[in-house]
Amino acid sequence: MFNWEAVFDVIDAGVIGIDDRYNVVCWNEWIAKGTELSAAAVLGRNLFDVFDGLGKTRLKTAVADAFQYGSSSVLTHSLNKLFPFRNETGQEVIHNVIVRPLPADPIKHCILQITDVSVSVARERVLRDRQNARYHAIVDSAPDAIITTSPDRTIQWFNAAAERTFAMSVDALREQRIDTLLTGPENLTEILAAHDMKGAASGTAVQVHGTKRDGVSAYFEVSFAGWNADGRRFITTIWRDVTERVAAENALYAAREALRKSNEELEQRVIERTNEREVVLRQLHESQKMETIGQLTGGVAHDFNNLLAVILGSLSLLRKGLPPDPRTSRLLDGAIQGAERGATLTKRLLAFARRQELKLEAVEVQKLIPEMHDFLRQTIGPAISVVLDIPSDIPPVKIDANQLELALMNLAVNSRDAMPNGGTLTISCRTETTEMKAPPGLPQSDYIRINVADTGEGMNDATLAKAMEPFFTTKGIGKGTGLGLSMVHGLTAQCGGTMTISSSVGRGTTVSLWLPAANAGDLMAALTPQAPQASLQNGRRLRILLVDDDYLVRANTALMMSDLGHTVIEASSGKSALEILQLDNRIQLVVTDYLMPGMNGLDLAKAIRGVTPKLPIILSTGYADIRSPLDMVFPRLPKPYTQDELAKILDAAVK
């Protein structure tokens, strides 16, 4: 039998035979080399399973037509890319495919003939490229865009510079109206038609506005000339990019404007920076001033409290030693009350200069605020009347009494400054609950609302929005720190309440302090009776070491202790006190001043504890607060103190 497969293998073309189920029945050597698939690997397999994507090409339709209608088809390389053929060098093989059915009834087999046309295609390309190369070399070497339009001003041809210049692809650029290249108001079609009708000389130029490929706006100088071919009129335009020239002209004008604006902005920034610097310096000055006031007030208050201690102690002893006399008693009571008011004033000054740790307790505002009435009137002056509207049955609030006084004083001073021509300051108290109209975010509870209202100038919305910001103030230079309202707001928040402000220009300002009502535990603590006055009723007499560098304070305190029946040994310094303790082991109690030269009272107390751990020690100080955590170990006796207060703490210390 004749071997047809050997014949197919020597043919210089590809031959694939398939049956009516598209299974491969013939696979010659040419195909095996081009696909690197042997006949054994593909015979019996579906042709469209052998090559991915082949079933999506026109080949499948052509094969189906061959089996169904007996028609032959030619699939050329220009319209179809079918098989992934490679030659011996690995280059792609350009091929045509002829589909022929084998005569039969019905048709059972079909032959695919694949022809390599790579050489002929390459030859055609070379010839075509040679014909166009010289022409394209000339026009493509031009740096300017060259575009030729038809009589209807559609683009027919353009050079490489035009393709590079404009933001359009080759396909999008061809057959487009030439005006599509413009972004400005110019109508190039009308311009070209007008110049062409007038017979304008070649080289006539107009300036237009367009967009380059990179999206950058550009200016072009377009020169053009008309010519005829095949009975048709064409216009060739040359587009020269003059963006830099236009930009230079515009830049000269812009530079002048920019210089003018820059000078104006620089002047404005200098003014703003100067104002900001002045504000910062003022704030720094106010902060430093507050710190200096605190340090100065602490030192002055210490000496002032020492003097008040001497005065109060001496007056107390004098009243005990004098025979009963109404006139003398009135004078002594007046002197004692004056000294006590001085002590209260010192505490307020220290509370203003220092931020104390809050001592939350039940405070009866119906008693505290009226007691401040005289002090408020003296502070805000006679031109402003003070009105108090506080019901007698208002519940106590939970707050630090001293800090509440300070907060009310700050608000009163603000109201005074807002009423330079006089007015009315009203302080009222009302019971509120969160079920009523309350500020947002306030926990559900019972509150006491303290309103401090004035009839002053009021604030606009912009000022009201910043009123509680630290260091914000509307007062003149040196007249305010901007910390008053922020300190009051912080106090109310720390106590579990809040602060709100309402104001309108010309109608005054109302500051509302929402303070939590005291609970049952706070009330019980407030009602707990104080320890009975210490005296010699228990018959106990103490041997006390009294240490103070101030002779007057030491002498006065020694007299009060002696009057209580105690034996007093005096020392003027911490060093002297330690020497006495080494010689006298009968000392039962040490009372020492806190602020002393050399060794202060706290250092002395720690030194004594190191030697005699169980010896009671009392720290006496004229400061409103001692910040060291170690002072919590020792009882404190604040200056100035009366003989009763001295007796109580002596008795408590030895217990």
- pLDDT of 473 above 60: yes
Nearest to 39 by CA among 52, 54, 55, 50: 50
The predicted model gives 137-149 an average pLDDT of: 81
Which among 241, 256, 282 is the end of a domain?
Answer: 241
Backbone angles phi, psi at 586, to 5 degrees: -95, 0
70: left (phi over 0), alpha (psi -120 to 50) or beta: left
152 shares its domain with 289: no
> Which domain CATH number covers 508?
3.30.565.10
The number of distinct structural domains making up the chain is 4
Could you tell me the maximum CA-CA distance found in the chain, to the nearest angstrom? 162
Helices and strands, counts by H and E, the chain: 21, 22
Whether 493 maps to a domain, the answer reads yes
Whether 203 maps to a domain, the answer reads yes
The DSSP 8-state label assigned to residue 610 in this structure reads H
The beta-strand segments (E) located in 317-445 are 361-363, 384-389, 397-399, 423-433
Distance from C-alpha of 319 to C-alpha of 197, rounded to nearest angstrom: 128
Give the chain's mean pLDDT: 80
The one-letter code for the residue type at 419 is: M
Distance from C-alpha of 296 to C-alpha of 618, rounded to nearest angstrom: 26
Whether 106 maps to a domain, the answer reads yes
Backbone angles phi, psi at 150, to 5 degrees: -85, 180
Run of H or E including 508: strand 508-516
Distance from C-alpha of 218 to C-alpha of 211, rounded to nearest angstrom: 6
Cis peptide bond prior to 470, omega within 30° of 0: no
Query: What is the CB neighbour count within 10 angstroms for residue 179?
Result: 16
Distance from C-alpha of 101 to C-alpha of 17, rounded to nearest angstrom: 10
Whether 258 maps to a domain, the answer reads no
Least confident of 44-48, 386-390, 515-519: 515-519
Distance from C-alpha of 305 to C-alpha of 638, rounded to nearest angstrom: 9
Whether 254 maps to a domain, the answer reads no
232 shares its domain with 103: no
509 shares its domain with 371: yes
Which is it for strands 232-241 and 217-229: parallel, antiparallel or unpaired? antiparallel
235 shares its domain with 331: no
Q: Give the confidence band of 420 by pLDDT, cuts at 50, 70, 90.
A: confident
Whether 373 maps to a domain, the answer reads yes
What percent of the chain is modeled with pLDDT above 70? 83
Which 3 state secondary structure label does DSSP give 408? helix
Whether 137 maps to a domain, the answer reads no
pTM of the model: 0.40
The per-residue pLDDT for 533 is 41
441 shares its domain with 363: yes
Chain Cα centroid distance, residue 585: 65
Q: Which two tokens stand for residue 650?
A: 């002596």
497 shares its domain with 536: no
Identify which of 149-153, 184-188, 327-331, 451-455 has the greatest average pLDDT. 451-455
517 shares its domain with 602: no
* Alpha helices in 419-550, H assignment, sequence order: 461-466, 484-494, 520-527
Whether 348 maps to a domain, the answer reads no
The per-residue pLDDT for 21 is 92
The DSSP 8-state label assigned to residue 37 in this structure reads -
What's the domain range around 224?
Answer: 142-241
Least confident of 239-248, 353-362, 503-512, 571-580: 353-362
Let me know the angle formed at the C-alpha of 170 by 165 and 172, rounded to the nearest 5 degrees: 100
114 shares its domain with 70: yes
DSSP letters, 56-119, are GSHHHHHHHHHHHH---EEE-TTT------B-TTSPBPPEEEEEEEPP-SS--EEEEEEEE-HH
Span 534-592, pLDDT tens digits: 444 344 789 999 999 988 889 889 998 998 899 999 999 999 999 999 998 899 999 99
Torsion over CA: 29, 35, 41, 45 (sign): negative
Which class for 377: exposed (0-12), middle (13-18), buried (19 or more C-beta within 10 A)? middle
- pLDDT of 350 above 90: no
Distance from C-alpha of 220 to C-alpha of 182, rounded to nearest angstrom: 10
